[in-house]
Structure 1
Amino acid sequence: MARPRDRPPAPAPRRLAFLTQIAHRAARTLPSPEEYPVLRRESNGMFMFDVIESACGTEVPEPLASGAAWTELCAASNDLTAWRNDIRSLAKESANDEPTNYVTVLRHAHGWSDAEAVAEVEKRILQRHEELEGAAADVRAQLADCPEELRAGLEHLTDVIAHIPGGHAAWLNTSARYQPA
Protein backbone atom coordinates (compact mmCIF):
# COMPACT_ATOMS: atom_id res chain seq x y z
CA MET A 1 0.00 0.00 0.00
CA ALA A 2 1.39 3.40 -0.99
CA ARG A 3 1.94 5.98 1.68
CA PRO A 4 0.39 9.39 1.11
CA ARG A 5 3.01 11.96 0.37
CA ASP A 6 3.79 14.24 3.24
CA ARG A 7 2.52 17.73 2.67
CA PRO A 8 4.96 20.53 3.20
CA PRO A 9 4.14 22.78 6.13
CA ALA A 10 2.22 25.96 5.42
CA PRO A 11 4.53 28.92 4.99
CA ALA A 12 4.99 31.08 8.08
CA PRO A 13 3.41 34.56 7.96
CA ARG A 14 6.80 36.21 7.38
CA ARG A 15 7.58 33.92 4.49
CA LEU A 16 4.14 34.55 3.03
CA ALA A 17 4.73 38.29 3.32
CA PHE A 18 7.96 38.06 1.35
CA LEU A 19 6.35 35.80 -1.25
CA THR A 20 3.44 38.21 -1.57
CA GLN A 21 5.83 41.12 -2.07
CA ILE A 22 7.69 39.16 -4.74
CA ALA A 23 4.39 38.41 -6.48
CA HIS A 24 3.44 42.12 -6.42
CA ARG A 25 6.80 43.11 -7.88
CA ALA A 26 6.58 40.47 -10.61
CA ALA A 27 3.01 41.43 -11.53
CA ARG A 28 3.74 45.16 -11.12
CA THR A 29 0.77 45.45 -8.76
CA LEU A 30 0.30 47.10 -5.40
CA PRO A 31 -1.14 45.64 -2.23
CA SER A 32 -4.42 47.13 -1.05
CA PRO A 33 -4.40 49.71 1.76
CA GLU A 34 -6.01 47.05 3.96
CA GLU A 35 -3.41 44.40 3.08
CA TYR A 36 -0.36 46.63 3.27
CA PRO A 37 0.11 47.21 7.03
CA VAL A 38 0.18 43.49 7.87
CA LEU A 39 2.25 42.65 4.81
CA ARG A 40 4.80 45.34 5.68
CA ARG A 41 4.86 44.36 9.35
CA GLU A 42 5.58 40.73 8.61
CA SER A 43 8.34 41.58 6.15
CA ASN A 44 9.93 44.29 8.30
CA GLY A 45 11.88 42.16 10.71
CA MET A 46 9.34 41.04 13.30
CA PHE A 47 11.94 38.41 14.27
CA MET A 48 14.03 41.24 15.73
CA PHE A 49 11.66 41.45 18.66
CA ASP A 50 12.72 37.92 19.59
CA VAL A 51 16.40 38.88 19.22
CA ILE A 52 15.91 41.83 21.57
CA GLU A 53 15.12 39.39 24.38
CA SER A 54 18.56 37.87 24.02
CA ALA A 55 20.26 41.25 23.65
CA CYS A 56 18.59 42.51 26.83
CA GLY A 57 19.12 39.25 28.71
CA THR A 58 15.44 38.79 29.54
CA GLU A 59 13.21 36.07 28.16
CA VAL A 60 9.56 37.01 27.91
CA PRO A 61 7.43 34.33 29.62
CA GLU A 62 5.12 32.53 27.18
CA PRO A 63 1.81 33.79 28.60
CA LEU A 64 3.01 37.38 28.19
CA ALA A 65 4.71 36.78 24.83
CA SER A 66 1.56 35.33 23.29
CA GLY A 67 -0.77 37.86 24.92
CA ALA A 68 -2.53 40.69 23.16
CA ALA A 69 -0.62 43.51 24.89
CA TRP A 70 2.86 42.16 24.09
CA THR A 71 1.86 41.29 20.54
CA GLU A 72 0.49 44.81 20.04
CA LEU A 73 3.59 46.41 21.59
CA CYS A 74 5.88 44.65 19.12
CA ALA A 75 3.55 45.15 16.14
CA ALA A 76 3.10 48.87 16.83
CA SER A 77 6.85 49.41 17.29
CA ASN A 78 7.51 47.60 14.03
CA ASP A 79 4.77 49.48 12.15
CA LEU A 80 6.13 52.82 13.24
CA THR A 81 9.64 52.05 12.01
CA ALA A 82 8.30 50.71 8.72
CA TRP A 83 5.92 53.58 8.01
CA ARG A 84 8.47 56.27 8.85
CA ASN A 85 10.94 54.47 6.62
CA ASP A 86 8.33 54.43 3.85
CA ILE A 87 8.04 58.22 4.00
CA ARG A 88 11.80 58.73 4.03
CA SER A 89 12.48 56.19 1.26
CA LEU A 90 9.63 57.31 -1.02
CA ALA A 91 11.77 59.08 -3.63
CA LYS A 92 14.25 56.22 -3.90
CA GLU A 93 11.55 53.55 -4.01
CA SER A 94 9.43 55.49 -6.52
CA ALA A 95 12.45 55.76 -8.81
CA ASN A 96 12.86 51.98 -8.58
CA ASP A 97 9.13 51.19 -9.01
CA GLU A 98 9.10 49.58 -5.56
CA PRO A 99 5.46 48.71 -4.74
CA THR A 100 5.88 48.05 -1.03
CA ASN A 101 5.65 51.58 0.30
CA TYR A 102 2.68 52.83 2.32
CA VAL A 103 2.68 56.22 0.62
CA THR A 104 2.65 54.61 -2.83
CA VAL A 105 -0.11 52.21 -1.85
CA LEU A 106 -2.36 54.98 -0.50
CA ARG A 107 -1.59 57.34 -3.38
CA HIS A 108 -2.52 54.71 -5.93
CA ALA A 109 -5.62 53.43 -4.11
CA HIS A 110 -7.12 56.87 -3.49
CA GLY A 111 -5.78 58.89 -6.40
CA TRP A 112 -3.94 61.19 -4.00
CA SER A 113 -0.84 63.28 -4.55
CA ASP A 114 2.38 62.30 -2.77
CA ALA A 115 1.77 65.10 -0.26
CA GLU A 116 -1.76 63.87 0.53
CA ALA A 117 -0.58 60.28 0.92
CA VAL A 118 2.37 61.33 3.11
CA ALA A 119 -0.01 63.36 5.29
CA GLU A 120 -2.23 60.29 5.70
CA VAL A 121 0.71 58.07 6.65
CA GLU A 122 1.86 60.72 9.15
CA LYS A 123 -1.65 60.77 10.63
CA ARG A 124 -1.58 56.97 10.95
CA ILE A 125 1.88 57.19 12.55
CA LEU A 126 0.52 59.51 15.25
CA GLN A 127 -2.40 57.16 15.89
CA ARG A 128 -0.13 54.12 15.93
CA HIS A 129 2.18 55.86 18.40
CA GLU A 130 -0.75 56.29 20.80
CA GLU A 131 -1.51 52.59 20.37
CA LEU A 132 2.13 51.78 21.11
CA GLU A 133 1.98 53.79 24.34
CA GLY A 134 -1.26 52.06 25.32
CA ALA A 135 0.21 48.61 24.65
CA ALA A 136 3.32 49.46 26.69
CA ALA A 137 1.11 50.58 29.59
CA ASP A 138 -0.91 47.37 29.30
CA VAL A 139 2.26 45.26 29.38
CA ARG A 140 3.56 47.11 32.44
CA ALA A 141 0.23 46.55 34.21
CA GLN A 142 0.58 42.81 33.59
CA LEU A 143 3.99 42.75 35.28
CA ALA A 144 2.74 43.57 38.77
CA ASP A 145 2.76 39.95 39.93
CA CYS A 146 6.16 39.05 38.46
CA PRO A 147 9.17 38.48 40.70
CA GLU A 148 11.09 41.76 41.09
CA GLU A 149 14.14 40.76 39.01
CA LEU A 150 12.01 39.46 36.13
CA ARG A 151 9.72 42.49 36.33
CA ALA A 152 12.70 44.85 36.11
CA GLY A 153 14.02 43.00 33.06
CA LEU A 154 10.62 42.99 31.36
CA GLU A 155 10.09 46.68 32.11
CA HIS A 156 13.47 47.42 30.52
CA LEU A 157 12.60 45.27 27.52
CA THR A 158 9.26 47.06 27.19
CA ASP A 159 11.05 50.42 27.28
CA VAL A 160 13.53 49.30 24.61
CA ILE A 161 10.76 48.15 22.28
CA ALA A 162 8.72 51.29 22.89
CA HIS A 163 11.76 53.46 22.08
CA ILE A 164 12.79 51.65 18.89
CA PRO A 165 10.68 53.94 16.66
CA GLY A 166 12.35 57.05 18.11
CA GLY A 167 15.81 55.56 17.67
CA HIS A 168 14.96 54.56 14.14
CA ALA A 169 13.63 58.06 13.39
CA ALA A 170 16.89 59.56 14.69
CA TRP A 171 18.85 57.19 12.48
CA LEU A 172 16.73 58.16 9.46
CA ASN A 173 17.53 61.81 10.15
CA THR A 174 21.28 61.22 10.31
CA SER A 175 21.79 58.40 7.80
CA ALA A 176 22.89 59.11 4.26
CA ARG A 177 20.89 56.11 3.01
CA TYR A 178 18.03 58.17 1.56
CA GLN A 179 19.87 61.41 0.88
CA PRO A 180 20.39 62.51 -2.72
CA ALA A 181 23.71 61.41 -4.18
Structure 2
Amino acid sequence: MKSTTRGTLVAVITGAVAAAGAAATPAAAVGTVPVPVPLEGVSQSLGMEVPKAGLELPLLTPGTPDGPRYVTGHLLPDRTLPQVPVKGALPGAGLRAPLPQLLDDRFDHVGIDAPASDLRTLGPGMNVDAPLTQPDPRNFGLPDLKLPEAGVLAPALQTVAGANLSSGPGL
Protein backbone atom coordinates (compact mmCIF):
# COMPACT_ATOMS: atom_id res chain seq x y z
CA MET A 1 0.00 0.00 0.00
CA LYS A 2 1.37 3.43 -0.93
CA SER A 3 2.12 5.99 1.73
CA THR A 4 -0.47 8.41 0.27
CA THR A 5 -3.14 5.71 0.44
CA ARG A 6 -2.19 4.92 4.04
CA GLY A 7 -2.27 8.61 4.95
CA THR A 8 -5.71 9.02 3.39
CA LEU A 9 -6.99 5.92 5.20
CA VAL A 10 -5.66 7.20 8.54
CA ALA A 11 -7.30 10.62 7.95
CA VAL A 12 -10.66 8.99 7.15
CA ILE A 13 -10.53 6.74 10.24
CA THR A 14 -9.51 9.67 12.46
CA GLY A 15 -12.41 11.74 11.14
CA ALA A 16 -14.86 8.89 11.73
CA VAL A 17 -13.65 8.40 15.31
CA ALA A 18 -13.88 12.15 15.99
CA ALA A 19 -17.43 12.27 14.59
CA ALA A 20 -18.48 9.28 16.72
CA GLY A 21 -16.97 10.89 19.83
CA ALA A 22 -18.75 14.18 19.12
CA ALA A 23 -22.06 12.34 18.70
CA ALA A 24 -21.61 10.55 22.04
CA THR A 25 -20.79 13.73 24.00
CA PRO A 26 -24.33 15.21 24.29
CA ALA A 27 -25.76 12.06 25.90
CA ALA A 28 -23.02 12.06 28.52
CA ALA A 29 -23.50 15.79 29.16
CA VAL A 30 -27.22 15.38 29.83
CA GLY A 31 -26.85 12.67 32.48
CA THR A 32 -29.60 10.43 31.08
CA VAL A 33 -30.03 8.25 28.04
CA PRO A 34 -33.46 8.25 26.34
CA VAL A 35 -34.88 4.77 25.73
CA PRO A 36 -37.91 4.64 23.43
CA VAL A 37 -40.30 1.73 23.94
CA PRO A 38 -41.43 0.60 20.45
CA LEU A 39 -45.09 -0.39 20.67
CA GLU A 40 -46.17 0.66 17.15
CA GLY A 41 -45.92 -2.92 15.87
CA VAL A 42 -48.27 -4.14 18.59
CA SER A 43 -50.75 -1.40 17.68
CA GLN A 44 -50.68 -2.35 13.99
CA SER A 45 -50.88 -6.10 14.57
CA LEU A 46 -53.78 -5.88 17.06
CA GLY A 47 -55.58 -3.12 15.17
CA MET A 48 -56.11 -1.03 18.28
CA GLU A 49 -54.52 1.83 20.13
CA VAL A 50 -51.88 0.87 22.68
CA PRO A 51 -50.07 3.04 25.23
CA LYS A 52 -47.03 5.05 24.19
CA ALA A 53 -44.02 4.90 26.49
CA GLY A 54 -40.55 6.40 26.70
CA LEU A 55 -37.95 6.07 29.45
CA GLU A 56 -34.82 7.92 30.53
CA LEU A 57 -32.05 5.92 32.20
CA PRO A 58 -29.44 7.71 34.33
CA LEU A 59 -25.70 7.80 33.79
CA LEU A 60 -24.03 7.68 37.21
CA THR A 61 -20.72 9.51 37.64
CA PRO A 62 -18.68 9.00 40.81
CA GLY A 63 -17.01 12.06 42.27
CA THR A 64 -13.84 12.63 44.24
CA PRO A 65 -14.17 11.66 47.91
CA ASP A 66 -13.28 14.05 50.71
CA GLY A 67 -9.97 12.70 51.98
CA PRO A 68 -9.06 11.97 55.59
CA ARG A 69 -8.27 15.01 57.79
CA TYR A 70 -6.00 15.30 60.80
CA VAL A 71 -7.77 15.95 64.10
CA THR A 72 -5.90 17.08 67.20
CA GLY A 73 -5.92 14.43 69.92
CA HIS A 74 -6.51 11.43 67.61
CA LEU A 75 -3.92 9.01 66.27
CA LEU A 76 -5.93 8.13 63.15
CA PRO A 77 -7.30 10.79 60.80
CA ASP A 78 -10.96 11.83 60.70
CA ARG A 79 -13.00 10.06 57.99
CA THR A 80 -10.73 7.03 57.84
CA LEU A 81 -13.02 5.58 55.17
CA PRO A 82 -14.26 8.66 53.25
CA GLN A 83 -17.73 9.04 51.76
CA VAL A 84 -17.80 8.77 47.94
CA PRO A 85 -20.14 11.22 46.18
CA VAL A 86 -22.11 9.96 43.17
CA LYS A 87 -24.04 12.25 40.81
CA GLY A 88 -26.69 11.10 38.40
CA ALA A 89 -30.41 11.29 37.85
CA LEU A 90 -33.55 9.48 38.87
CA PRO A 91 -34.99 7.51 35.95
CA GLY A 92 -37.63 9.39 34.00
CA ALA A 93 -40.71 8.12 32.21
CA GLY A 94 -43.29 9.42 29.78
CA LEU A 95 -46.44 7.29 29.46
CA ARG A 96 -49.55 8.06 27.44
CA ALA A 97 -52.49 5.63 27.25
CA PRO A 98 -55.65 5.80 25.15
CA LEU A 99 -58.89 6.35 27.02
CA PRO A 100 -61.95 5.37 24.93
CA GLN A 101 -64.99 7.60 25.00
CA LEU A 102 -68.11 5.72 26.07
CA LEU A 103 -70.57 7.32 23.64
CA ASP A 104 -68.28 7.69 20.63
CA ASP A 105 -65.63 5.81 18.61
CA ARG A 106 -62.94 8.39 19.35
CA PHE A 107 -60.24 8.27 22.00
CA ASP A 108 -59.05 10.64 24.68
CA HIS A 109 -55.78 10.14 26.52
CA VAL A 110 -54.44 9.95 30.02
CA GLY A 111 -50.73 10.45 30.52
CA ILE A 112 -48.00 10.90 33.04
CA ASP A 113 -44.73 12.71 32.46
CA ALA A 114 -42.06 12.16 35.09
CA PRO A 115 -38.85 13.78 33.83
CA ALA A 116 -35.47 12.63 35.06
CA SER A 117 -34.38 14.73 38.03
CA ASP A 118 -30.90 15.39 39.39
CA LEU A 119 -29.70 13.09 42.13
CA ARG A 120 -26.74 13.59 44.46
CA THR A 121 -25.66 10.92 46.92
CA LEU A 122 -22.89 10.28 49.41
CA GLY A 123 -21.95 6.71 50.19
CA PRO A 124 -21.42 5.57 53.77
CA GLY A 125 -18.12 6.35 55.47
CA MET A 126 -16.38 5.49 58.71
CA ASN A 127 -14.55 7.24 61.54
CA VAL A 128 -12.18 5.10 63.59
CA ASP A 129 -9.76 6.00 66.38
CA ALA A 130 -7.10 3.81 67.97
CA PRO A 131 -7.28 2.75 71.64
CA LEU A 132 -4.15 4.83 72.35
CA THR A 133 -3.63 8.54 72.92
CA GLN A 134 -0.85 10.60 71.43
CA PRO A 135 2.59 10.22 73.03
CA ASP A 136 2.63 11.87 76.45
CA PRO A 137 5.88 13.63 77.48
CA ARG A 138 4.88 13.31 81.15
CA ASN A 139 4.76 9.52 80.70
CA PHE A 140 8.27 9.25 79.15
CA GLY A 141 6.80 9.62 75.63
CA LEU A 142 4.52 6.58 75.91
CA PRO A 143 0.85 6.79 74.92
CA ASP A 144 -1.95 6.21 77.39
CA LEU A 145 -4.77 3.72 76.93
CA LYS A 146 -8.30 4.84 76.11
CA LEU A 147 -11.48 3.30 74.76
CA PRO A 148 -11.46 2.69 71.01
CA GLU A 149 -13.86 4.78 68.96
CA ALA A 150 -15.76 3.86 65.80
CA GLY A 151 -18.51 5.69 64.01
CA VAL A 152 -20.41 5.25 60.77
CA LEU A 153 -21.07 8.25 58.55
CA ALA A 154 -24.61 7.84 57.26
CA PRO A 155 -25.24 7.87 53.51
CA ALA A 156 -27.05 10.91 52.11
CA LEU A 157 -29.50 11.30 49.24
CA GLN A 158 -30.64 14.60 47.76
CA THR A 159 -33.13 15.03 44.92
CA VAL A 160 -36.30 16.87 43.90
CA ALA A 161 -38.64 14.59 41.97
CA GLY A 162 -41.70 15.74 40.09
CA ALA A 163 -44.37 14.40 37.78
CA ASN A 164 -47.29 15.71 35.73
CA LEU A 165 -50.54 13.78 35.32
CA SER A 166 -52.72 14.90 32.43
CA SER A 167 -55.75 13.89 30.43
CA GLY A 168 -57.38 15.41 27.39
CA PRO A 169 -58.91 14.92 23.98
CA GLY A 170 -57.11 13.02 21.21
CA LEU A 171 -54.14 10.73 21.42
**Greater strand share, 1 or 2?**
2
Structure of higher RCO (CA pairs closer than 8 Å, 6+ residues apart)? 1
Larger Rg: 2
User: TM-score range with shorter-chain normalisation?
Assistant: under 0.3
- Give the TM-score of the pair, scaled to structure 1: 0.27
**Greater helix share, 1 or 2?**
1
